[in-house]
């Protein structure tokens, strides 16, 4: 009788372990198809009568997920279950439990495995815009390359250039990849080293130049970035030079 009793409990725990394993696998499968979502805070408070950093709290389906987000920052990614999702934005510390009204209430549909950025920024008329941007983190055709994804959500044009890192101003050619107007997007891939003669094998870098104006344009931002093989670099330009609010938000992630 004792053996039967022990055998029964052994079988019970074995089956229980199998069920726990199945439940864990089911939970893993559910989590594995989550969307990955970045959030960009591109609204400078000074343009709308708020504090310059304009700190925000972001609630996803009623739960505080991002606390005290500040202007010019990209945060995430956050895992969000596929389907309809509510995103409510509050001033920092003024969440739903305080009785305050949200600054904005939005609904987005996320697909399984989707990788996106939800960006809040100001358009040319300084009206608030909240938009969803897809991020392409698929593997590069060449593992030695870096993918750069640039969104211009500021006021002014953007010049994207890549050049020889060692002597960019000593006769080595700089190449303008593209000029973006406000609202434009550009995706390109860069190798860490020059692939063609006469500078084959030399270190490369890329440069982001931001300007405003047409005939009498002025350079408002000029910065070099390092190429990181196997990585994606998300770049968002927000704000305005005229209002002294220009900001470049950047986030680096691994290509999948």
The more confidently predicted of residues 49 and 2 is 49
Q: Which of 93, 227, 79, 88 is nearest to 161 (CA)?
A: 227
Q: What is the mean pLDDT of residues 95-104?
A: 93
Question: Tell me: the pLDDT tens digits for 15-73?
Answer: 444 444 444 444 444 457 999 999 999 999 988 888 899 999 999 999 999 999 999 99
- Of the candidates 150, 228, 234, 137, which has an alpha carbon nearest to the alpha carbon of residue 191? 228
- More confident position, 100 or 2: 100
pTM: 0.78
Q: Are 115 and 233 in contact (CB under 8 A)?
A: no
Closest residue by Cα to residue 130 from 111, 98, 102, 97:
102
Q: What is the mean pLDDT of residues 224-239?
A: 88
| Rounded distance between C-alpha atoms, residue 17 and residue 2, angstroms | 22
Query: Given this model, what pLDDT does residue 206 score?
Result: 79
Cα–Cα distance between 233 and 153 in angstroms, integer? 16
Domain 34-135, CATH class in plain words: mainly beta
Instruction: Give residue-wise pLDDT tens across range 206-218.
Output: 778 777 665 556 6
pLDDT value at residue 213: 61
Residue matched to tokens 């229980």: 16
DSSP helix/strand/coil, 86 = strand
pLDDT of residue 167: 59
pLDDT attached to residue 218: 66
Do 34-135 and 136-256 share a fold?
yes
Domain 136-256 has CATH 2.60.40: yes
* Residue partners of 51: CB distance under 8 A and separation at least 6: 45
Which residues contact residue 163 at a Cβ distance below 8 angstroms, ignoring those fewer than 6 apart? 172, 173, 174, 175, 204, 205, 206, 207
Q: Among 49-58, 73-82, 205-214, 244-253, whose mean pLDDT is lowest?
A: 205-214
Helix (H/G/I), strand (E/B), else coil: 205:
strand
Q: What is the pLDDT of residue 7?
A: 43
Question: For the chain, what are the domain ranges?
Answer: 34-135, 136-256
- Summarised one tens digit per residue, pLDDT across range 117-173 is 999 998 877 888 899 999 988 887 788 888 989 898 886 778 777 776 665 555 455
Does the pLDDT value for residue 13 go beyond 50? no
More confident call, 114 vs 179 = 114
Nearest to residue 32, comparing CAs of 79, 83, 85? 79
pLDDT at 184 over 70: yes
């Amino acid at each position: 009788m004792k053996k039967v009793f022990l055998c029964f409990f052994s079988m019970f725990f074995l089956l229980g372990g199998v069920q726990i394993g199945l439940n864990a696998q089911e939970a893993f499968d559910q989590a594995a198809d989550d969307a990955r979502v970045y959030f960009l805070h591109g609204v400078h408070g000074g343009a709308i009568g708020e504090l310059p950093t304009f700190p925000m709290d972001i609630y996803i389906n009623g739960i505080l997920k991002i606390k005290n987000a500040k202007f010019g920052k990209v945060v995430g990614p956050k895992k969000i279950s596929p389907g309809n999702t509510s995103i409510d934005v509050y001033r920092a510390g003024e969440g739903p439990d305080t009785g305050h009204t949200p600054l904005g209430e939005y609904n987005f549909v996320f697909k399984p495995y989707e990788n996106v950025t939800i960006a809040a920024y100001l358009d040319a008329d300084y009206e608030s815009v909240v938009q969803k941007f897809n991020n392409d983190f698929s593997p590069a055709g060449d593992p030695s390359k870096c993918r750069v994804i640039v969104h211009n959500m500021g006021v002014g044009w953007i010049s994207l250039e890549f050049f020889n890192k060692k002597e960019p101003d000593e006769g080595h050619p700089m190449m303008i990849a593209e000029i973006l107007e406000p609202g434009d997007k550009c995706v390109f891939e860069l190798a860490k080293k020059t692939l063609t003669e006469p500078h084959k094998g030399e270190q490369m870098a890329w440069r982001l130049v931001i300007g405003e104006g047409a005939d009498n344009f002025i350079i408002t931002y000029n910065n070099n970035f390092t190429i990181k093989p196997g990585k994606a670099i998300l770049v968002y330009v927000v704000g305005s030079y005229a209002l002294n609010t220009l900001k470049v938000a950047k986030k680096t992630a691994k290509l999948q």
